[in-house]
């Protein structure tokens, strides 16, 4: 959205006219948007110079900001901020609301917005990107055309900008085709699960912000919780868990439910009602995991490019900044009618001169340091703070999240269900099973379509994923897409209920072996987030 707005503005300044098309798979703008969020909102002053800052639908300025260490039933508020976690001057917000507001502005500036269109294919000619195609619809489970078959639209463009958010399904193909990850670390991710609650007056004030460390995660697991106070007695609560965990039975949704039972958290929710649920992954590899961001006729922005500052849990202002830099580059390319890689390389220079580099370079080894657990990670991070990010060992490698899980027999820790014994009987007042939560995301998919999640190799899936890892998909999925079915002869298979899918992309990231590929379903399918 930021890319299109800034491109419309820049083209106008240069006296140029070009069509700008923005294509969104959600049924409406914002319906697939989920964030925390506490936002570094100054970025809107550069994006929307003509708009009164107070008109932007931010929720509340942060009035109090604390980091709290949790045990199962206890809590300890840290006397100081953890580095990079100071939120003074930032705003709590619903990113869905902001995107809807930005969409109006973009349309006023002439951007053509097409919602409910899933882009499923990159178009190429002579080995170069020439646009994209939306998904064919009216196809049954097996790929047969039905009466209502509609071929997707081919959209040819001088420049295609990939802004698909985390683990973009097309950006992934683009990165692979042009080897854009060459000499870079692989991307690594967290999964964030979130609920929005309506609570009695007095439970929490708008602008009160808490981040938690510790329970329900152990010293080997990376992540933490958040509690953000919003106007009108709403509160956003969530748990973000690094997907490099080892336990094949780990379940982030259920861990989030256990987290809410800690008295420090449950007091904010007491007497309230959960109104919305959702989940999404976040790219957290940082600076060394940023792929090359351009190729002939194409640029990558935002989370698809891995531009997220994990120590601060912030990506919105960086996504907006990258969108603006991409727009500047696009305007230059349009004015010269040159979309070659060498022309578009200016995008990288602009990024390196922006807050993106300033925020990500000093913490370039942050996430990798925690791959060996919190204690070593914290020590290592300490050395990075005094060496400008280098630490003692220079660039640290990252490992794909699909490779960090132990098999059932290798895993020697306490399995998830034993760890949280007594915490997983959900009372549907404070804690919820997945089915109830999924119901609160408004998720819906057309029944007749090719399933958009696909087991890549059914044979190896059986021997590796089911036998060795115990079908961990059934646990890591935040929305009950995967069910392990055992027939009366003891034969096991994974059943896929794609209609529940929240588009969080965890399966595409965490599934071991040949894994699972997530692609887009029919346009307009998926969650229907209102206030996330
Ligand atoms: C739980 C959680 C908490 C977070 N908290 C914060 C926070 O407090 N502060 C902060 O600054 N950041 C936070 N972030 C990160 C922040 O939300 C992201 O960095 C930011 O939203 C990235 O913006 P984006 O435009 O790149 O991607 P997105 O916001 O994900 O938008 C991508 C859009 O592209 C659409 N799309 C994707 N693929 C296709 C396709 N093939 N065809 C058509 N449309 C497609 C999607 O439907 C979506 O609408 C959080 C993230 C999570 C998950």
Q: Is the CB of 282 under 6 A from ligand 1?
A: yes
Q: What sections of 249-373 are H helices per DSSP?
A: 252-260, 263-269, 316-336, 341-344, 346-352, 355-360, 366-369
363 lines ligand 1 (CB under 6 A): no
Inter-residue contact 502 to 64 (CB < 8 Å) = no
Burial class (CB in 10 A: 0-12, 13-18, 19+), 530: middle
Beta carbons of 2 and 324 less than 8 angstroms apart: yes
List, for residues 220-243, the tens digit of each pLDDT value: 999 999 999 999 999 999 999 999
Q: Is residue 309 within 8 Å of 385, Cβ to Cβ?
A: no
Residues 6+ apart with CB under 8 A from 169: 505, 508, 518, 519, 520
Distance, CA of 335 to CA of 25 (rounded, Å) = 30
Counting ligand 1 atoms within 8 A of each CB, the residue from 113, 315, 327 with the most, and so the one to mutate, is 315
Question: By the 8 A CB rule, do 62 and 87 touch?
Answer: yes
What integer pLDDT is reported at residue 393 of this predicted model?
A: 86
How far apart, in Å, do the first and last CA atoms of the chain sit? 17
Angle CA(216)–CA(90)–CA(202) in degrees, nearest 5?
65
Is the CB of residue 428 less than 8 Å from the CB of residue 436? yes
Tokens of 321: 């900044």
Structure tokens, 364: 């370039």
Q: What are the φ/ψ torsions at residue 437 (nearest 5 degrees)?
A: -60, -45
**474 Cβ partners below 8 Å, 6+ apart?**
482, 483, 484, 494
User: 102-125, pLDDT tens digit by residue?
Assistant: 999 999 999 999 999 999 999 999
CA distance 91 to 207: 7
Section 165-169 average pLDDT: 98
Query: In what side-by-side order are the strands of the sheet with 38-39?
Result: 38-39, 91-92, 60-61
pLDDT score of 386: 87
What is the SS3 assignment for 190?
Answer: strand
Averaged pLDDT, 371-378:
88
Q: Can you list the positions of beta strands (E) in 135-270?
A: 137-139, 145-150, 154-156, 160-162, 189-198, 208-214, 223-230, 234-242
Mean pLDDT confidence for 153-167: 98
In the numeric block, which tokens belong to residue 23?
A: 């294509």
Phi-psi region of 110 (alpha: psi -120 to 50; beta: other; left: phi over 0): left
The β-bridge relationship of strands 64-70 and 208-214 is: parallel
Ligand 1 mutation target, pool 28, 34, 316, 522, most atoms within 8 A of CB: 316
Task: Check residue 281 and give its pLDDT.
Answer: 98
> Does the structure show a pLDDT above 90 at 352?
yes
Task: Say how far apart CA 240 and CA 259 lie, in whole Å.
Answer: 11
Ligand 1 atom 13: residue of nearest CA: 314
Write out pLDDT tens, residues 491-532.
999 999 999 999 999 999 999 999 999 999 999 999 999 999
Q: What is the pLDDT of residues 269-316, one digit of tens each?
A: 999 999 999 999 999 999 999 999 999 999 999 999 999 999 999 999
Query: Given pLDDT bands bounded at 50, 70 and 90, which one contains residue 20?
Result: very high
Nearest-atom number in ligand 1 for the CA of 1 is 25
CA of 531 relative to ligand 1 center, distance in Å:
14
Q: How far is the C-alpha of 230 from the C-alpha of 197, rounded, in Å?
A: 10
Whole-number Å distance, alpha carbon 39 to ligand 1 midpoint, is 13
Distance 193 CA to ligand 1 centre (A): 13
Torsion of CA 275, 281, 286, 291, to 10 degrees: -130
Q: How far is CA 120 from CA 156, 170, 322, in A?
A: 14, 7, 23
Q: What is the Cα–Cα distance from 195 to 201, expressed in whole angstroms?
A: 18
Tokens representing 304 are 């698809």
Give the residue, by CA position, lying nearest to ligand 1 atom 49.
32
Check if 505 has its Cβ closer than 6 Å to any atom of ligand 1.
no
pTM (predicted TM-score): 0.97
Conformational region of residue 443, where left means phi above 0, alpha means psi within -120 to 50, and beta covers everything else: beta
């Amino acid at each position: 959205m930021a890319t299109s707005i800034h491109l419309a503005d820049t083209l106008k300044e240069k006296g140029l006219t070009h069509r700008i098309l923005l294509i969104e798979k959600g049924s409406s703008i914002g319906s697939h948007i989920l964030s925390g969020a506490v936002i570094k909102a100054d970025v809107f002053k550069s994006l929307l110079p003509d708009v009164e800052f107070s008109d932007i639908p931010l929720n509340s300025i942060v009035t109090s900001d604390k980091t709290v260490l949790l045990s199962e039933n206890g809590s300890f508020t840290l006397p100081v901020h953890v580095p990079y976690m100071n939120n003074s001057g930032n705003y709590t917000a619903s990113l869905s609301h902001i995107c809807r507001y930005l969409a109006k502005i973009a349309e006023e500036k002439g951007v053509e917005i097409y919602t409910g269109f899933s882009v499923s294919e990159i178009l190429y000619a002579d080995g170069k990107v020439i646009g994209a195609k939306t998904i064919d619809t009216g196809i049954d489970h097996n790929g047969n055309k039905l009466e209502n078959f509609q071929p997707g639209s081919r959209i040819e463009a001088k420049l295609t900008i990939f802004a698909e958010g985390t683990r973009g399904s097309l950006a992934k193909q683009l990165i692979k085709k042009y080897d854009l990850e060459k000499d870079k670390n692989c991307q690594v991710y967290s999964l964030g699960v979130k609920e929005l609650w309506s609570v009695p007056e007095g439970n929490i004030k708008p602008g009160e912000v808490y981040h938690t460390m510790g329970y329900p995660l152990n010293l080997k697991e990376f992540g933490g919780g958040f509690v953000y106070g919003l106007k009108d007695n709403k509160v956003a609560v969530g748990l973000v868990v690094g997907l490099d965990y080892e336990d094949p039975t780990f379940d982030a949704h259920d861990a989030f439910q256990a987290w809410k039972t800690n008295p420090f958290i449950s007091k904010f929710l007491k007497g309230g009602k959960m109104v919305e649920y959702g989940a999404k992954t976040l790219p957290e590899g940082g600076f060394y995991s940023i792929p090359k961001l351009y190729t002939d006729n194409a640029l990558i922005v935002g989370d698809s490019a891995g531009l997220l500052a994990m120590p601060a849990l912030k990506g919105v202002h960086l996504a907006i900044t990258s969108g603006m830099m991409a727009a500047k580059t696009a305007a230059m390319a349009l004015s010269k009618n040159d979309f070659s890689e060498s022309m578009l390389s200016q995008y990288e220079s602009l990024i390196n001169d922006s807050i993106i580099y300033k925020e990500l370079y000093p913490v370039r080894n942050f996430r990798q340091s925690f791959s060996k657990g919190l204690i070593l990670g914290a020590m290592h991070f300490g050395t990075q703070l005094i060496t400008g990010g280098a630490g003692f060992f220079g660039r640290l490698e990252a490992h794909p999240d699909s490779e960090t899980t132990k098999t059932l027999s290798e895993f020697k820790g306490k399995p998830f269900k034993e760890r949280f014994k007594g915490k997983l009987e959900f009372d549907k007042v404070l804690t919820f099973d997945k089915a109830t939560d999924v119901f609160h995301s408004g998720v819906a998919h057309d029944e007749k379509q090719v399933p958009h999640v696909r087991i890549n190799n059914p044979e190896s899936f059986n021997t590796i994923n089911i036998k060795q890892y115990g079908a961990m998909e059934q646990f890591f999925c935040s929305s009950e897409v995967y069910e392990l079915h055992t027939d009366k002869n003891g034969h096991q298979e994974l059943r896929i209920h794609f209609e529940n899918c929240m588009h969080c992309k965890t399966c595409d990231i965490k599934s071991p072996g040949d894994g699972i590929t997530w692609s887009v379903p029919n346009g307009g399918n998926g969650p229907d987030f209102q206030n996330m």
